[in-house]
Amino acid sequence: MFRHGRSRIIRDPIWNTIRLDPVAVAIVDTAAFQRLRYIRQLGLAHLVYPGATHTRFDHALGVYHLAVRALRILRAGAEVPADVWRGADLIPYAALLHDIGHYAFSHALEELEPARIVGDHEEISARFFESAELQDAMAPLGPGAADEIHRIIKGEGGNALRGLVSGSLDLDKMEYLRRDARFCGVPYGEVDVERLLQGLMLLRDPATGEWEVGVGMKSLSTLESLLFSKYQMFRTVYWHHAVRAGTGLYKRIVETAVEAGLLSPEELIGPTDEELLYDLRRRAAASRDPVASRLAGRWLPALRERRLPKRATEIPAWQLEGSAVPGWVSGDTAEKRRWEDGIAAELGLEPGEVILDFPVKRAMFQLDVLVDRPDGVVRLGREGIAGLMDLPKLGRELYRTARVLRLFTFERRETDPDWLLERLAMTPAEVGNACA
């Protein structure tokens, strides 16, 4: 049983001082939350940026801190109906717990096909909310608080302030851009968080009459800088070719282990980064399956020793316009795997040792936010706002120029873009027949 009653002050390299209230202290002290100390925030990015060993634990504390500040600013703003504040007390805890369900190495496994995993980290978080220890820690929040916090994390329910946790203006983005840039040692994520926080407002949607978190006109320039910061971080850090190579190798290891029955999708829930790699190595070494031998003797050591797959070809997304690129290219489907194995045979490699990577994150530059203009409240959505920079169009252009189609091979091979495009025009069966 937790004894609630003491706050705690934490020193943080990004926000300096973070004060946790007694309920937050109890949540942080649970085993489920402490697990986040051992889940790297940026997955395999530390293989490229050595400083990127910060964790989901650090990040979650930062988002909690920003949520407390944002609520204080909003309460000091223009008066709104009292019922708009219903459930506001749960927002900081939703911010604190928004990443509780992450798999080992954060987002990487969420790129796999649904059959390979149980669900994304927001769905998985429900498993952790069911723990008696976490329920006990949240008991002072009242009955049903855990369920409501889970809805807020998923962006569901009627809480008018849920946009602080899940949405275009969520505090998660403001926190991770600043923290990731600092620990990677790059200057791109320096978002003007203070200006964004001070520009937050509670606004009424003219179309629905519902209240939600929006911004004033003066904050739109900061939204522009947020878009550019995301673009630069995706292009330079998150989608760096070696980060994608490491991520692809890790996904291939886990995918193959699940296919071979070395572990089940359920067993992916819970292990930390090092626990999962250790367990995979142990199980693969104990199996007589030839696939397990490849995992234990070749692929897992390659990941551990940073012997990453090499780029054979890469084509920027904007150069693919007008080319016949099949829809399966962006997923991790069985069809794509057959195509990759056909290419592996053509290049003299083992099955599974070619990876086609074309990352997709369509929502990363999309905006859906209310803006308070002198002539009334309007929504900045896909159509933009007349008389202002077309931020939605800008977001789509940034997304288009950030993506790169890459062919990775576990041993160095050199191919050219035309060769790759010719084979992308072939079905997996045709690729396999051509190599037979």
Say what the pLDDT of residue 247 is.
Answer: 96
SS (H, E, C) the chain: CCCCCCCEEEEECCCEEEEECHHHHHHHCCHHHHHHHHCECCCCHHHCCCCCCCEHHHHHHHHHHHHHHHHHHHHCCCCCCHHHHCCHHHHHHHHHHCCCCCECCECHHHHCCHHHCCCCHHHHHHHHHCCHHHHHHCHHHCCCHHHHHHHHHCCCCCCCCHHHCCCCCCHHHHHHHHHHHHHHCCCCCCCCHHHHHHCEEEEECCCCCCEEEEEEHHHHHHHHHHHHHHHHHHHHHHCCHHHHHHHHHHHHHHHHHHHCCCCCHHHHCCCCHHHHHHHHHHHHHHCCCHHHHHHHHHHHHHHHCCCCCEEEEEEEHHHHCCCCCCHHHHCCCHHHHHHHHHHHHHCCCCCCCEEEECCCCHHHHCCCEEEEECCEEEEECCCCCCCCCCHHHHHHHHHHHHCEEEEEECCCCCCCHHHHHHHHCCCHHHHHHHHC
Let me know: does 96 contact 61? Beta carbons within 8 Å.
yes
Ranges of the chain with pLDDT below 50: 1
Say what the pLDDT of residue 435 is.
Answer: 57
Say what the pLDDT of residue 1 is.
Answer: 46
Q: With CA atoms as reference, report the closest residue to 185 among 12, 46, 59, 307.
A: 46
Say what the pLDDT of residue 169 is.
Answer: 81
Any idea which architecture 12-185+240-307 has in CATH? Answer: Orthogonal Bundle (1.10)
Say what the pLDDT of residue 116 is.
Answer: 82
In this structure, what token pair is assigned to residue 137? 């820690």
In this structure, what token pair is assigned to residue 187? 């200057």
End-to-end alpha-carbon separation of the chain, Å? 65
Say what the pLDDT of residue 81 is.
Answer: 95
